[in-house]
Amino acid sequence: MSEFSELIKKFDKIRDYMREFYVYGFKSREDYDKKSLRSYDNEKRRIESYLSDYMSFRHDENNKNIFISIDSSDIPTNPLYRAFKAKSFTKNDITLNFIILDILDGGERHSANEVADKIADEYLTYFENPVIWDLSTVRNKLSEYVNLGILQTEKDGKRLLYSLKKTDINLDELCDALAFFSEISPLGVVGSFLLDKCNYNNSILSFKHHYIMHALESEIVYTLLHAIHNKEKVEIKNHSPRSDRDIILEIIPLKFLISAQGGRRYLCAYSSKFRAIVDFRLDYIMSVKVLGKANNYTEHYEKLERILSCTWSASFGNAKRLEWLKMKLSIPHNERFIVNRIEREGRHGKLTQIDETTYEYFIEVFDTMEMMPWIRTFIGRIISIESSNIEVTQTFYSDLEKMYQLYNGGDGNAVQ
How do residues 28-50 score in pLDDT, each as one tens digit?
777 766 667 777 788 788 888 88
8-17 b/e with 16+ CB inside 10 Å = b?
Answer: beeeeebbeb
Mean pLDDT of the region 91-117:
91
Adjacent-strand bridge partners of 233: 292
Of residues 86 and 326, which shows the higher confidence score? 326
Helix, strand or coil, per DSSP, at residue 386: strand
Do 91-164 and 213-309 fold alike per CATH?
A: no
Instruction: Return d(Cα 248, Cα 285) in angstroms, integer.
Output: 10
pLDDT at 71: 80
pLDDT at 404: 86
What are the residues whose beta carbons fall under 8 Å from the beta carbon of 132, sequence distance 6 or more? 120, 124
Task: Show the CA angle centred on residue 231, arms to residues 288 and 274, nearest 5°.
Answer: 65
Phi/psi-derived region of residue 396, left when phi > 0, alpha when psi is between -120 and 50, beta in every other case: alpha
Helix, strand or coil, per DSSP, at residue 114: helix
Instruction: Return d(Cα 386, Cα 384) in angstroms, integer.
Output: 7
Helix, strand or coil, per DSSP, at residue 411: coil
Instruction: Return d(Cα 86, Cα 61) in angstroms, integer.
Output: 35
CATH architecture of 91-164: Orthogonal Bundle (1.10)
* Domain 213-309 falls under CATH 2.30.30.520: yes
Delimit the domains of the chain by residue range: 11-69, 91-164, 174-210, 213-309, 323-408
Mean pLDDT of the region 304-324:
88
The length of the chain is 416
Taking a C-beta distance cutoff of 8 angstroms, is the pair 280, 236 a contact? yes
Residue 4 phi/psi, 5-degree rounding, is: -70, 140
* Domain 323-408 falls under CATH 3.30.70: yes
CA–centroid distance for 299 within its chain: 26
The structure's pTM equals 0.80
Lowest pLDDT segment from 102-106, 137-141, 275-279, 409-413: 409-413
The secondary structure of the chain in percent helix, strand, coil, rounded to multiples of 5, reads 45, 25, 30
pLDDT at 16: 77
pLDDT-based confidence at 83, cuts 50/70/90?
confident
What are the residues whose beta carbons fall under 8 Å from the beta carbon of 237, sequence distance 6 or more? 246, 247, 248, 285, 286, 287
Residue 347 phi/psi, 5-degree rounding, is: 55, -135
